[in-house]
Amino acid sequence: MPDLDKALADIVEIKSRLAQSSQFLGLGPAALATSGVLAFAVAALQTVLPGAAEPIAYFTGWVLTALVAVGLIGAEMLRRAQRHHAGLADQMIREAVLNFVPAGVAGAALLAFFARFAPAQLWLVPGLWLILVSLGIFAAARSLPRAIALAGAWYLLAGFTVLLLAATDQSLSPWHMGLPFAVGQLLVAAIVHRASEATNVR
Amino acid sequence: MSAEPDVPFAYDGLDRVIHEKARLGILTSLAGRPDGLAFNDLLRLCGLTQGNLSRHLAVLQEAGLVDIHKGYTGNRPLTEIHLTPAGRQRFLDYLSVLERVVRDASARAEQAAPGKPQVA
Per-residue pLDDT of A3-61, as tens digits, reads 888 888 888 888 887 877 777 888 889 999 999 999 999 999 999 988 877 899 999 99
Task: Summarize pLDDT for B28-44 with one digit per residue, the tens.
Answer: 899 878 788 999 999 99
Q: Do B106 and A4 count as a contact with CB atoms less than 8 A apart? A: yes
Q: Which long-range contacts (CB under 8 A, 24 or more apart) does A89-94 make?
A: A89/A26, A91/A15, A91/A16, A91/A18, A91/A19, A92/A19, A92/A22, A92/A24, A92/A26, A92/A143, A93/A26, A94/A19
Check if the beta carbon of residue A137 is closer than 8 Å to that of residue A152. yes
CB contacts < 8 A, A to B, total 46
Q: Where are the alpha helices (DSSP H) in A49-169?
A: 55-85, 89-117, 125-140, 148-169
Q: Residues 46 to 75 of A: which have CB under 8 A from any B CB?
A: none
Q: Is some CB atom of chain B closer than 8 A to the CB atom of A14?
A: yes
Q: What is the pLDDT of residue A191?
A: 95
pLDDT digits (tens, 9 = 90+) for A167-198: 998 889 999 999 999 999 999 999 999 988 87
Please check the confidence at residue A164 and state whether its pLDDT lies above 90: yes
3-state secondary structure of B3: coil
Residue pair A138/A152 in contact (Cβ under 8 Å)? The answer is yes
On whether any CB of chain B is under 8 Å from the CB of A8, the answer is yes
| pLDDT digits 0-9 by tens, A130-147 | 999 999 999 988 888 889
Helix H or strand E encompassing A121: none
Q: Can you give the pTM of this predicted structure?
A: 0.72
Say yes or no for a CB contact (<8 Å) between A11 and B99. Answer: yes
pLDDT band, residue A113 (cuts 50/70/90): very high
The values of phi and psi at residue B47, to 5°, are: 65, 40
Phi-psi region of A33 (alpha: psi -120 to 50; beta: other; left: phi over 0): alpha
What number of H helices and E strands is found in chain B?
4, 3
What value of ipTM does the predicted structure carry? 0.71
Task: Identify residues of B whose CB sits under 8 angstroms from chain A CBs.
Answer: 28, 31-34, 88-89, 91-93, 95-96, 98-99, 102-103, 105-106, 109-110
Please answer yes or no on whether A14 and B28 come within 8 Å at the CB atom: yes
Better-scored residue on pLDDT, B120 or A98: A98
Q: Which residues pair with B82 in a beta bridge?
A: B67
For residue B31, give the nearest of A5, A14, A87 by CB distance: A14
Confidence band (pLDDT; 50, 70, 90) for B53?
Answer: very high
Nearest of A167, A170, A140 to residue A155 by alpha carbon = A140
Query: Quick one: pLDDT band at residue B5, thresholds 50, 70, 90?
Result: low
What Cα–Cα distance (Å) separates residue A188 from each residue in A150, A158, B47? 9, 14, 44
The 10s digit of each residue's pLDDT in B8-32 is 777 777 788 898 999 999 998 998 7
Q: What's the rounded Cα separation, in Å, for the pair B17 and B58?
A: 11
pLDDT of residue A171: 87
Q: Using a CB-CB distance cutoff of 8 angstroms, which residues of chain B are in contact with residue A15?
A: 92, 95
**A3 at interface of B, judged by CB pairs closer than 8 A:** no
